[in-house]
Chain A
Amino acid sequence: MTETLRIKARLERAGFTLDVDTAFPLDGVTALFGRSGCGKTTLLRIIAGLEHPPGAELHFGDTAWQSGKTFVPLHRRRVGLVFQESTLLPHLSVRGNLLYGYKRTPEPLRRLHLDEVADLLGITELLGRRADQLSGGQRQRVALGRALLTSPDQLLLDEPLNALDTQTKREIMPFLARLSDKTGIPTLLVTHAPEEVERLAHRVAFMHDGQLERLEPLRDALARADSPLFRDEGAVSVLQGELGPADAHGLHPFGPPEARYRVPSTPGAANGAGRPARLRIDARDVSIALSPPQDVSILNIIPVTIESLDEAPGHHGPARVLAVCRQDDGQTLMAELTQLSTERLGLRPGIRVHALVKSIALLD
């Protein structure tokens, strides 16, 4: 059994009560997802030791961080913090910032070192620069590196991509995606962007009005029509699998033979063969056919079984139907259809159909 970060806390503020009692497994990336004001940042601050609500109980594995009279201060908790806005110390160089925590980490605890972290984050060339000479994306990468160089037991990321433009976000995502796998440091990621959850998280904690409503694996969170992740932008499927080497047409096979996709390589992304990857498929880009069509341009036609038909989320116009389908490898694929097509094809749970996938985004 993996160890957990156990937290039981109640904190009252004007017009807001945070009341949480849960345990986060200490491996991989756990996303704290919810709208602004739902208490996710406050929860993160309690875990960091920046808030000190009386009566709270906080245990990291076997270590009590807060319990009764015990309160381990921030600088003894060994957590790596990254906030959304730039927090580099302006009077230090990039190297000075990176080494600030490293120097204060006792030598036997240092697992990560400057060269490898700078390499992992692509900031080796920036080491001699001043902190105020960096772009927004570079600053966040240095902030991540600085946190990593304390070899923390836990990474706490508070909307680290929020202040960045879309282009820069895309530039940093791959680095973030690699972090937890490469370093093995459990990570809590506060975010309100479904895209970040789909791309980075292994499990999601949904927060609403100061309560933690549900903690579940990403796969499960993406397999139900009423997932809060779909509330604003509609349903998506995220498939996890292995990406193979490119064929003569420049297409990479993805996934096992019974649910095999062919994916064009994306410029900019690392396209190494035989590595784990995620595909993101918008439910609106998936159509359903009763028999495999021979004369369409669509490359990816996947046999699936319909599991359920629900009202599609994220719509305000005429009702649409979300077909939750099961691929033969067990993963979920969603298709968004009109009520008319559903009736015309006689779709119902349990029948075998073919999913026509029109467009795919390869996430790293």
Chain B
Amino acid sequence: MFELSPTDWMAIEVTLKLALYTTLILLVIATPIAWWLANGRAPGGVRTAVQALVALPLVLPPTVLGFYLLVLLGPAGPVGATLENLGLHHLAFTFEGILIASVIYSLPFAVQPLQQAFANLGRRPTEIAGSLGAGRMDRFFTVILPMSRGGFIVAATLAFAHTLGEFGVILMLGGAIPGETQVLSILIYDHAEAMDFASAHRLSLGLLIFAFAVLFIVYAINRRFDTVRL
């Protein structure tokens, strides 16, 4: 009953790869954004605008985001057309395309816990480290990172878990190409459409248990650091 088809396995692989890459990219991108939002000295208006922009994916229907990305990255869009002119392929219906979409879509889930952690940290520890001779990168790796690890763990988990649950954006931008853009949530939808409830159930239950297990482990770890809670 728990036999998975090659298509199922391919979808699992694409999904995990997408979630892993998204998380790694987000940690790199979200950290400076979150630091700037928490401690930056930009005028209040600029900061508020960036904050709102980062939070947009929380409220927009995924189809809206997917639609604009399709326009932007597709063969006729500014980004897609430029790539075509350079002799490359446009990004609609590709893994790279849904990776970009997924990074944007999960951005608030990585930025917000980090911003919270950095706000709790304040400027003082970095000021002290600076006075002790540590340069910017040195300060990040020896002070900010260890003192905000709870925030980083939560940010990574939420980004990862949220990517697992992506559906609308990928449906708009990626279609359902097996091995390329067909992720688990899409495949489950396809199984159900084809009235193959048994297959849909196998994958759904597996995803449910996996998601719960990941969240459980992370929150258990995070309790030990008692820093950031969501």
Interface residue ranges, A against B (CB under 8 Å): 48, 50, 73-75, 77-81, 83, 85, 87, 89-91, 100-101, 104-105, 146-147, 150
Contacts and interface: CB of A to CB of B under 8 A. Distances in A.
Contacts of B138: 104
Best-buried of A74, A83, A90, A146 by chain B (most CB within 10 Å): A74
A83 B135 contact: no
Nearest to A80: B131
B143 A74 contact: no
B192 interface: no
Contact of B128 (A73, A87, A91): A87
A87 B125 contact: yes
Given A87-B128, A89-B125, A104 B133 contact: yes
B81 interface: no
Interface string B124-149: 11011111111100100011001100
Contacts of A78: 133
- The number of chain B residues touching the other chain, given as a range, is 10 to 19
B147 A79 contact: no
Contacts of A50: 127
B132 A104 contact: yes
A81 B147 contact: no
Nearest to A87: B128
Contacts of B134: 75, 100, 104
Given A87-B124, A89-B125, A75 B143 contact: no
A89 B130 CA distance: 13
B132 A150 contact: yes
A100 B129 contact: yes
Nearest to A74: B130
B143 A89 contact: yes
A298 B129 CA distance: 53
Interface of B: 124-125, 127-135, 138, 142-143, 146-147
Given A74-B131, A78-B133, A100-B142, 15 more contacts: A73-B130, A74-B130, A75-B132, A81-B131, A83-B124, A85-B124, A87-B125, A89-B125, A89-B147, A90-B147, A101-B133, A104-B132, A104-B134, A104-B138, A146-B132
A147 B130 CA distance: 11
A58 to B, nearest CB: 16
B147 to A, nearest CB: 6
Contacts of A48: 127, 131
6 contacts: A75-B133, A89-B129, A90-B147, A100-B132, A104-B133, A147-B132
A48 B124 CA distance: 13
Contacts of B147: 89-91
A119 B193 CA distance: 76
B124 A75 contact: no
A81 B134 CA distance: 13
Nearest to B149: A91
A91 B134 CA distance: 16
A127 B101 CA distance: 50
A100 to B, nearest CB: 5
A89 B162 CA distance: 33
B131 to A, nearest CB: 4
Contacts of B129: 89, 100
A81 B135 contact: no
B133 A81 contact: no
A119 to B, nearest CB: 21
Contacts of B142: 100
A91 B135 CA distance: 19
B130 A150 contact: no
A159 B133 CA distance: 22
Nearest to B130: A74
Lowest 9 CB-CB distances: which A-B pairs, in order? A101-B132, A104-B133, A81-B131, A74-B130, A91-B146, A75-B130, A87-B128, A75-B133, A100-B132
B149 to A, nearest CB: 9
Nearest to B131: A81
Nearest to B138: A104
B177 to A, nearest CB: 46
A344 B77 CA distance: 100
A79 B131 CA distance: 6
Contacts of B135: 75
Nearest to A90: B147
Contacts of A74: 127, 130-131
Contacts of A89: 125, 128-129, 143, 147
A61 B125 CA distance: 28
A315 to B, nearest CB: 40
Contacts of A150: 131-133
Contacts of A79: 131
A90 B142 CA distance: 12
A74 B146 CA distance: 22
A2 B146 CA distance: 43
Contacts of A104: 132-134, 138
A104 to B, nearest CB: 3
A48 B123 CA distance: 14
A66 to B, nearest CB: 15
A101 to B, nearest CB: 3
